[in-house]
Amino acid sequence: MYARLSSILFPIATLLFIGSIVWGYQEHQEKNSVLIKAENQYQRAFHDLSTHMGRLHDQLGQTLAVSSASQGMHRKGLVNVWRLTSQAQNEINQLPLAMLPFNKAEEFLSRMSNFAYRTSVRDLTKEPLSSDEVKMMKSLYKTAGSVNQELGKVQDAVLKNRLRWMDVEVAMASENGPHDNTIIDGFKSMDKHMGAYPEAEWGPSAMSTARKLSSKGLDGSEVSPDEIRRKAVQFLGHSAANGEIQVTEQGGKTELPVYAVTVNGHGGTPVQMDYTRKGGHLLWYMNPRVVKSRKINFDTARNKGSQFLIRHDYKDMTPITYDEYDHVAVFTYAHTIGGVKNYSDKMTVRVALDNGEIVGLQASDHVFAQKVLTPGKPKLTKEQTRKGLNPDFRIESSSLAVIENDMRKPTLCHEFMGKINDRHYRIYLNADTGLEESIEEIPSSEKAIYK
């Protein structure tokens, strides 16, 4: 009996054993194939990064070598600097550096990219490179040279010793032992060189392209948690009267310390708010309750949002965009000055479509917006400006508006809304020069705003 049973099971066990070996071998081959592909991708990104950083250094040198009156060559050089910097950023993002402190280098490249782009798109014949900007570019050229030397050392070591990026990934993922990998040390040195660039040397034009939210420009003095608690009760009204209000300070060592407020809402849903520590300005409010149905229409929801803003002393706000999802209407409002919309000073209101309750407010753009007391008067009329539009563009409405230009300066524009190629657009033409400042497509969901 046992002999018969073994004669049956033994071939089956043999087949299973052989099958497991074959399966294991195939899995091993597939794993190796994936690792080889990942390693090849890392190597390609690294060597492309080295090439583009070298070309970036050369391009900065070439831009500095031409005459100060060569605006065309300056523009071409700055465009190439922007393109090469953007490519270098993309290649850094492809490398396994997520766990490596490389933020200074990434910020440096981001600022250089923004500076090159913003400077190249301005009219250099009327506003050529200033002496400070030329001085800054010379410093950038020197810094890029130092970074290239460090990157060259890493590249030489990679090629000479056949270093693998997969080993870098393993080294950074390891919780024990120092990260003394050659590649890691090289990139840390690069980050140190880029981080040593003085922030003040970026100048006002470059700093305007990398806006940071900071409490320095806010009105008012420091407020206490008790004052924030009173503000929260006043904002929420009766809904906060019986709820427990928790106020905690966050970001105390950052440029924007805030108070986070949590209130137990109806049904146990926590209502959350953020206030700035300086001035006690409300940044955002969120009531994350589930809205299960739609019972009110667009006009009612818009009126609810507008009344809410007026009730909380946000005056002269005009709805400019609209969207809807999960039975919640989302309206964006812009501050209006003498009938002129200021698109840089805006806030977003979320309206529940079951009962019209306001379930969200995003006000940070309004709090940190550059204050425009008067939009000014246009030098060109609407009729003069519209000559710069595409003849096929069918205008449906027009008005004056203030937008931020590429240098993030408030700019008065004639805003034309209309249709071309079966799509709706907003086109902003500078009210002083008639040149295009911006163009954006109007989503179909927003069209209800203009009906």
Report the C-alpha gap between 28 and 20 in whole angstroms: 12
Does residue 187 share a domain with residue 282? no
Last-in-domain residue among 207, 238, 267? 207
Residue 263 lies in a domain: yes
Report the C-alpha gap between 260 and 275 in whole angstroms: 7
Residue 313 lies in a domain: yes
| Full DSSP string of 50-78 | HHHHHHHHHHHHHHHHS-TT-HHHHHHHH
Q: If you search the block for the tokens 């009267």, which residue do you land on?
A: 241
**Residue 346, SS3 per DSSP:** strand
Residue 215 lies in a domain: no
Does residue 267 share a domain with residue 328? yes
Beta bridge partners of 274: 260, 284
- What is the domain range of residue 437? 382-450
Residue 306 lies in a domain: yes
CA 432 to chain centre: 30
Residue 1 lies in a domain: no
Does residue 44 share a domain with residue 193? yes
Does residue 309 share a domain with residue 177? no
Q: How many domains does the chain have?
A: 3
Does residue 75 share a domain with residue 22? yes
Would you state the pLDDT for residue 91?
82
Residue 2 lies in a domain: no
Would you state the pLDDT for residue 51?
87
Alpha-carbon Rg of the chain, whole angstroms? Answer: 30
Query: Quick one: 204 exposed, middle or buried, by C-beta within 10 A (0-12, 13-18, 19+)?
Result: exposed
Residue 272 lies in a domain: yes
Q: If you search the block for the tokens 């009126």, which residue do you land on?
A: 303
Does residue 387 share a domain with residue 363? no
Does residue 341 share a domain with residue 194? no
Would you state the pLDDT for residue 204?
44
Report the C-alpha gap between 121 and 126 in whole angstroms: 12
Last-in-domain residue among 180, 207, 234? 207
Would you state the pLDDT for residue 199?
53
Does residue 361 share a domain with residue 387? no
**Residue 243, SS3 per DSSP:** coil
Does residue 389 share a domain with residue 358? no
Q: Is 279 left (phi over 0), alpha (psi -120 to 50) or beta?
A: left
Q: List Cβ neighbours of 367 (8 Å cut-off, separation of 6 or more).
A: 218, 276, 281, 282, 283
Does residue 315 share a domain with residue 200? no
Report the C-alpha gap between 339 and 344 in whole angstroms: 15
Does residue 93 share a domain with residue 166? yes
- Other C-beta atoms lying within 10 Å of the C-beta of residue 294: 15
| Tokens coding 171 | 């080294």
Last-in-domain residue among 147, 180, 207? 207
Report the C-alpha gap between 448 and 270 in whole angstroms: 32
The CATH number of the domain where 443 resides is what? 3.10.450
Alpha-carbon dihedral 311, 315, 321, 322, rounded to 10 degrees: 10
Rounded to 5 degrees, φ, ψ at 322 are: -145, 140
- Other C-beta atoms lying within 10 Å of the C-beta of residue 147: 25
3-state secondary structure 154-186: HHHHHHHHCCCHHHHHHHHHCCCCCCCCHHHHH
Does residue 236 share a domain with residue 351? yes
Would you state the pLDDT for residue 241?
52
- Per-10-residue mean pLDDT for the chain, 451 residues long? 59 65 60 66 80 87 80 85 86 68 69 81 80 83 82 75 66 51 66 58 47 74 91 79 78 84 78 91 90 90 94 92 88 91 92 92 89 83 90 91 83 92 90 88 70 55
Residue 363 lies in a domain: yes
Would you state the pLDDT for residue 282?
93
